[in-house]
Amino acid sequence: MPFKNITVAGAGVLGSQIAYQIALNGFNVTVYNHHIDTAESRINALKADYQRDLNLTDQEFQAGLDNITTITTDLKEAVKDADYVIEALPESLKLKEKFYAELSQAAPAKTIFASNSSSFIPSQLVKFVDRPAKFLHMHFANKIWRFNVAEIMGTEQTDPAVYQEVVDFAREIKMVPIEVHKEQHGYVLNAVLMPLLASAMQLWANDVSDPQTIDKDWMISTNSPMGPFMILDMVGLRTPYQMELNAYQTTKDEIHQTIAKKLKAMIDAGHVGQESGQGFYHYPNPEFEDPDFLKK
């Protein structure tokens, strides 16, 4: 059956974007978040971006907001009539295990579950749900209204009909569905992108070069419009930090711990990227917007 009522769990940088993008395209959206005011402010803050990039009028943006019918801290309330739940919580396996145990108890039998996880694959999370045939991943890139791909990846237990429903839904919210046919850490995008970001962070962590110089070299040498640290600022530093912690726990390679410590120091100082006004660059007028940035 076509989806009608969508719940987005987690209103961080991506969760807020996912919720609004779905609402803008006519679905009834409920947002589950531990802090209602934070969810509201993040969603409302998208207005300037949507108006700049998609030329939305005030009335069109408001029409999307009007489809976000509920923002709640009560999970049972959030999913009581959900056709589809998209989980966009922090990249902690322990946190996700707890969430899916609670979600499995609270959600109706009809509800399909999806994770937006960047660092885990579906088979790592499916064991936490009560409906493996109705579980898969739907992964979005940051600034989803511009970089509009939805990477869709299931497990061997995912019902093909459920998978197709999610592919169809992606198109309905103006995403380009990227069908991932077997489990792959990083899906397609991050499988290509993360080695670049990891290499750049290693150069920085080992004091080989500074972030702006690394970005300049990459941009000049490859004619890329963005360097790796610009991308990290856009993504926000919390997710890379958690991914480096996960990598250290898995590999015990000390470089991941070193990177995590340096990122943690920035996060503790409130410098988490574009969202906070400072990351590796300063916003809203970042150094790389200087016309002479690549000439210095």
Cβ-count burial 17-26 (b if 16+ within 10 Å, e if not): bbbbbbbbee
HEC string for 72-114 = ECCHHHHHCCCCEEEECCCCCHHHHHHHHHHHHHHCCCCCEEE
1 has a pLDDT exceeding 80: no
**pTM, entire model:** 0.84
CA–CA dist 96, 73 (Å, integer): 16
DSSP state of 57: -
Taking a C-beta distance cutoff of 8 angstroms, is the pair 226, 278 a contact?
no
Tokens of 214: 């690394």
Strands 149-153 and 135-140: antiparallel
pLDDT of residue 247: 87
- Per-residue pLDDT for 265 more than 80? yes
Mean pLDDT of 85-101: 96
What's residue 164's pLDDT? 98
- Which of 180, 175, 172 is closest to 149 using CA atoms? 175
- Dist. CA 178–CA 194, nearest whole Å: 18
Distances (CA, A) of 285 to 95, 256, 274, 282: 36, 30, 10, 6
Contact 130, 118 (CB under 8 A): no
* Mean pLDDT of the 272-280 span: 95
Average pLDDT over residues 78-93: 96
Q: How far is CA 253 from CA 201, 237, 246, 248, 249, in A?
A: 14, 20, 11, 6, 8
Compute φ and ψ for 227, nearest 5 degrees: -95, 170
Distance between CA atoms of residues 44 and 62, nearest Å: 9
Sign of CA dihedral 257, 263, 265, 270: negative
Separation between Cα atoms, residue 128 and residue 136, nearest integer Å? 12
Residue-wise pLDDT for 164-194, tens only, equals 999 999 999 999 999 999 999 989 998 999 8
Report CA Rg, the chain: 19
Residue 87 has pLDDT above 90, yes or no: yes
**200-253: per-residue pLDDT in tens?**
999 999 999 999 999 999 999 999 999 999 999 998 999 899 889 988 988 999
